[in-house]
Amino acid sequence: MSKVSLPLDLIELTIEQIQEAFAKGSVTSEALTQAFLDRIAKVDPQYNAIVFLNPDALADARASDQRRASGNVIGPLDGVPVVVKETCDMVGFPTTMGWTLLYSKTGGVDLMPGTDSPVVARMKASGSVILGKTNVPSLSHSGSHANDSWAGPTFNSAGRQFLPGGSSAGTATAVGASLAVLGLAEETGGSIQNPASAQGLPSAKPTFALVPNAGVAPLSGNRDVVGPIAHCVRDVALTLDVLAGYTAEDPKTIAGVGHRPKGGYASRLNKDALKGKRIGLYGFGWRNLPLSDEATRLYQRAQGELKQLGAELVQDPFRGSGFAELRQPTPPMKEFDARGMESVPYDLDQYLRRLGPNAAIKSYAEFAEAIKTQDPFAKGGVLQYMPNLPDFNACLADPSKPPRLTDFVAAREAYLETFNDVMDREKLDALIFPQMRGELPPIKGPETILETTVCEINIAGLPGVTVPAGYYASGSPFCLIVVGRLWSEADILAYAYAYEQATHHRRAPKLD
């Protein structure tokens, strides 16, 4: 089967539209999957979003069609074509972390997982059709680009001249270019929110421990979270329903028990969700860095839209709280606070041991031997800042032992205490900020994304939802991020949904 003709447009396709077409019998999952594979073959060579295609995709789609014919549809994602970030273990595919030394065809070794990561297993169990795995920068080190992947650079679907956002660049570009309906991303330091915002897409960076990240190549077992990027907020919510929840494979997910909303994450989506809600606005009390002039104008317009939706806006609620002073950029970086990432040798050791007895590398000691010619932690390496973190060297000396992480724990506690105090004092329901302080830099060059919330919500473990809010004159997307208390995903998704439905700022890109 090839070059199929469908009664629905693949561009910006949503779960709701797909399920309506399935119910009417006007399209099958097999035909839809083939159409997406055709589109990938035509479009992706210009964007390089997908590094591995799934040879079982059409068979999986046929299985979905058979379930539907027999009345056994699993749920809203059944038969829906999706992609997953390359760092998520999936049986049959190497997990390369975007690095030449971890891919046999570029002179490295292949890490072949013995089992799927829980998030991939849950996507499969939902009936979704995994089209393939998406590109990441080497060792997922960047929140801005994917220029140094073994597979080559990933380009931004909103404009090839812009940074695509990282490290989930491939997932954002695949969704932004309508090569898939939605995709899995993962964040340690902005890697969901940055690429989603850079490409004008809704996404959810969940509360830490809501979604399991076992079997996902780590940068920090204390910060890593997996979440969805999609074309609309409802699809983000429906995918979070699939991903969230306890698994014994990832014991920290016990913390989320009792915090999932009855009826699911889409249950509170309502066009009037912002009415009467108190919303905190960006200011120097949160982070002592200004917005650009154009970002200020776009944010002012967004504030007017929020007011029209019935929200009560609170200017700079963190002023005088000491919150901004909690951020401690890690040298030589000027803005990024990497605390919590010093555990990466231990986290990698645990990850490698999970791969199974047949893995080419089974421990951090074997990993260190395999990568000694390109030590990422040495001067000039992509993770050269790591030795500047407290406890990193002690962790590196014995990766089999959990590190102390005293500074990180103190930082998380201070962030959460101050955050909750301000939310209580000001009676805030959420914060709504520009996700970036200015427009996107060019894809080539030293500039990075000027985000507003990455260090703060990753160290604190707080959730954030991006929502499109317009464009700069250059065509660079402008997105808001809705930040809430721990476990507040259902509410902040509802606020993002209300804004999205009232404004419809997202527009499909004209691909180069």
> Which residues are identified as catalytic?
85, 167, 191
Phi, psi (rounded to 5 degrees) for 417: -65, -45
Could you tell me if 367 and 353 are in contact, meaning their C-beta atoms sit under 8 angstroms apart? no
Q: How many CB atoms lie within 10 A of CB 207?
A: 25
Query: Which of these, 289, 314, 258, lies nearest to 450 by C-alpha position?
Result: 289
First to last CA, the chain: 27
> Going by DSSP bridges, is the β-strand pair 278-280/430-434 parallel, antiparallel, or unpaired?
parallel
Q: Which residues in 135-221 belong to E strands, given as ranges?
A: 182-187, 203-205
Is residue 314 classed as helix, strand or coil in its secondary structure? strand
Phi, psi (rounded to 5 degrees) for 50: -115, 125
For tokens 């707080």, the residue is 462
208 residue type, one letter: F
Got the DSSP string for 134-199? E---GGG--SS--TTSTT-----TT-TTB---SSSHHHHHHHHTTSSSEEEEEESSSTTHHHHHHT
Q: How many CB atoms lie within 10 A of CB 8?
A: 14
Q: Can you read off the two tokens belonging to residue 415? A: 């962030």
Alpha-carbon dihedral sign for residues 290, 291, 292, 293: negative
